[in-house]
Structure 1
Amino acid sequence: MVGGGQLARMTHEAGIPLGIRFRLLSDTPQDSAAQVVQDVVVGDYRDLDTLRGFARGCDVITFDHEHVPTEHLRALEAEGVAVRPGPDALVHAQDKGVMRARLTELGVPCPRHRIVADPADVERFAAEVGGFPVVLKTVRGGYDGKGVWVVDSAAEAAATTAPFLAGVAVLAEEKVAFTRELAANVVRSPHGQAVAYPVVESVQVDGVCDTVIAPAPGLADELGLAAQQLALRVAKELGVVGHLAVELFETVDGRVLVNELAMRPHNSGHWTQDGAVTSQFANHVRAVLDLPLGDPRPRAPWTVMANVLGGDFPDMYPAYLHCMAHDPRLKIHMYGKDVKPGRKVGHVNTYGDDLADVRERARHAADYLRGVITE
């Protein structure tokens, strides 16, 4: 797996029962996954020779993130390395312009959009979609709200000059009137077997995923099924192998629009570690190795995942005593990261029959771990 973050850490954990030998390409020995994986290569994923050396002896290469240069992946594939998902698929998660163009070609519902050249072009785009506000995104490299701006006027568009001055391609999108954000998570294997998890509600705070509720409460059956079918179709049409998260807007008029794609395990699927028969991480491992996929069905009527963000208390370990005693059914997953304000350092999962109770238990644990509450 290329990338040493928490996704690699949890994917490695899922492969242990299957006897999978896991090799990691990590930026530093201190990265989240590098702390627990035995076979670690420390190096720069942007360097082709480093990637070649890392790939020797691996049956398959997969990813913790989407930032490996597309041309390097094409070179590896040309040399016989099994890259999953392959570069022709992964580029749709790497490049938002390519993604929007391809999804539009497929007839997949998306916000209105256009690549813009400068602030004046942003103003012209705003006029095309009925006025401000509009959303600006760097075509490559953004995540967790980074590289995304909402501009409310021509003056704000003119002030958002940094990406244009840096020569970075910028995608402008209409600001969608949505009631909530959803995510459809699917997994697809090389021979075309695919499974779909229940569609979840994803609650964002300041551009960062805060809470995920599985399944999305109050979602009409026909809309949930349509979202799953859309995600399965996107996975097939783009040739995805492994896990695909399709982030969606549920609009005020009862439709879904595709917001983003991620071709790796995803924050909106963390609930599956404790809430599904087979987790997203286990199914990602199975898929990239072309093993039969596992059952994605939920184990309980409701599962809630709450991210634990860093706060003012650098040592969260003493808080375990309270959280575990308060809720013996609580599942805590920490990433081994240094605690910094606003940084994702872990998550908690709760599950049960009563949604209000499950949500409260998850929120209590996440807030106590970060020091927001003390009892």
Structure 2
Amino acid sequence: MGRVVGVVGGGQLARMMIAPAVELGVELRVLAEEPGMAAALAASDVGDYRDAETVLAFARGVDVVTFDHEHVPHDVLRAVLAEGIPVHPGPDALQYAQDKLLMRAKLAELGMPQPEWSAVRDAAELQAFIDEHGGRAVVKTARGGYDGKGVRVVSAGTEADDWFATIAEFGEGADGHGGALLAEELVPFTRELAQQVARRPGGEVVSWPIVETVQRDGVCAEVIAPAPHASERLLEVAARLGVDIATGLGVTGMLAVELFETSDERILVNELAMRPHNSGHWTQDGAVTSQFEQHLRAVLDLPLGDPSPREEWSVMVNILGGPAEGTLEDRFAAAMAAHPSVKIHTYGKAPRPGRKVGHINASGDDLDDVAYQARAATAFFQ
């Protein structure tokens, strides 16, 4: 098509946009944080995404700017827009993925179901919230947390004193609320779910089926698609929730809505991500249109693809950490020979404890066998 998409951020999400970009005839350029990152194959530029001039110089060579992460400062995004360069998702939407306090307030305004919450500015306010919510609470930094970082379960207000003392380091919120943490009720959930949707600037929205996510130490370890034992009501409610949030926030591109399911079958919004997301990696091999192709279609305002599953079940298992000795590449042949039906995706990252260095997808009509194939193949890379 001769279109050029610029991705700010050189991680694995940008890396996984490369193949669908080639297939769509789209040129992909990446502004990587440093040389040798996961998306090095498309890294046309290396520089600081927090510096407006660096991002502007990159953006002037593309047709549209999108992201591998949500951390680009608001003023940088505004500077790109001021030059007439489209940004998807735009800063008005992205702020709600960057700042959890803004997100909570906006979701409340939209009437979305979510945990009880409050902005707390010191240990006394946090303690009052804890006392009002059964003696325990979740406290989060409003900005910057990811994969379990910036999240604590506390039973005393003083357990976040170090965060209160250094609150300015977490960044000033778009509404000037720097100096506050987010306190949330500790939700008695039975499992975690994720709903993905894609929305293009013209307004078209599509949804994948809701999935179950399995977390270990605050990091996503597995995804089962669709979520087992999901009633038709749950599927419909979750899809409508995703569409309503995407529309209400003006999201363009991919949106992942992380959810809690409670014992009384309520679903509550946990967090949002406005980009391709770990909960959607199964779509690379298990859906008619992957989240990575769909994101490119959406930010280019092209007709969206069919999100239907190709098989009854898909399971994605993250390769966390990697082998203690040797490299991932050393394990490929054995894993492929033992499990020829799985698809192996690696990120070009060096092994490190807890680090996401790849994932494995499996699909089929028997969930037990699909899960076994994905998990057993992943074990070759540990």
TM-score range, shorter chain: over 0.9
Give the drift of 1:271.
Answer: 0.1
Q: 2:332 aligns with which of 314, 320, 327?
A: 320
1:189 aligned residue:
200
TM-score, normalised to structure 1's length? Answer: 0.95
Compared with structure 1, are the counterparts of its residues 164 and 56 closer, same or farther at alpha carbon in structure 2 (3 Å cutoff)? same
Pair 1:163 & 2:163 matched: yes
Equivalent residue for 1:346, pick from 325, 335, 358:
358
Shift of 1:40: 1.4
- In the TM superposition, residue 23 of structure 1 has moved relative to its aligned partner by 1.1
Distance of 2:328 and 2:27 partners within structure 1: 31
Matches of 2:74 and 2:186 in 1, distance apart? 29
Rounded to whole Å, the distance in 2 between the matches of 1:128 and 1:81 is: 47
- Relative to structure 1, the CA distance from residue 176 to residue 319 in structure 2 (aligned partners, 3 Å threshold; closer, same or farther) is same
Pick from 13, 21, 26 the counterpart of residue 20 of structure 1: 26
Match of 1:362 among 360, 363, 374: 374
- Aligned-residue offset at 1:369: 1.0
TM-score w.r.t. the length of structure 2 is: 0.94
Cα distance in 1 for residues equivalent to 2:135 and 2:67: 37
**Residue type of the alignment partner of 2:163:** P
Q: What are structure 2's unaligned runs of at least 5 residues?
A: 1-6, 169-179
- What is the correspondence of 1:133-282 to structure 2 with a 5 Å cutoff? 133-151=136-154, 153-154=155-156, 157-168=157-168, 169-282=180-293
| 1:68 corresponds to 2:72 | yes
Aligned-pair distance for 1:163?
1.4
Q: Offset at 1:167?
A: 2.1
CA distance in 2, matches of 1:362, 1:315: 19
Total equivalences in the alignment: 364
Is residue 56–residue 79 contact of structure 2 (8 Å, CA) maintained in 1? no
Provide Cα deviations, 1:56-97, integer angstroms capped at 9, x if missing partner: 121000000000001211121122110000000000000000
User: Distance in 1 between the 2:311 and 2:217 partners?
Assistant: 30
Task: List structure 1 runs of 4+ shifted beyond 4 angstroms.
Answer: none
| Cα distance in 2 for residues equivalent to 1:81 and 1:23 | 15
The answer to which of 117-126 and 186-195 deviates more is 117-126
Gaps of 5+ in 1: 371-375
The alpha-carbon deviation at position 51 of structure 1 amounts to: 0.8
d(CA) in 2 for partners of 1:366, 1:299: 22
State how far apart, in whole Å, the 1-side matches of 2:48 and 2:61 are. 19
The percentage of counterpart residues that share the same residue type is 57
Q: Which amino acid aligns with 1:141?
A: G
- Whichever residue aligns with residue 150 of structure 2, its letter is G
Shift of 1:323: 1.1
Corresponding residue for 1:30? 36
What corresponds to 2:108 in structure 1?
Answer: 104
What are the residue-to-residue correspondences of 1:53-92 with 2, within 5 Å? Answer: 53-92=57-96
Q: Who is 1:373 aligned against? A: none
- Give 3-state SS (helix, strand or coil) of 1:357's partner: helix
Asked if structure 1 preserves the Cα contact closer than 8 Å seen for 2:222 and 2:317, the reply is: yes
Q: Distance in 2 between matches of 1:24 and 1:314?
A: 29
The separation in 2 between residues aligned to 1:8 and 1:209, in whole angstroms, is 19
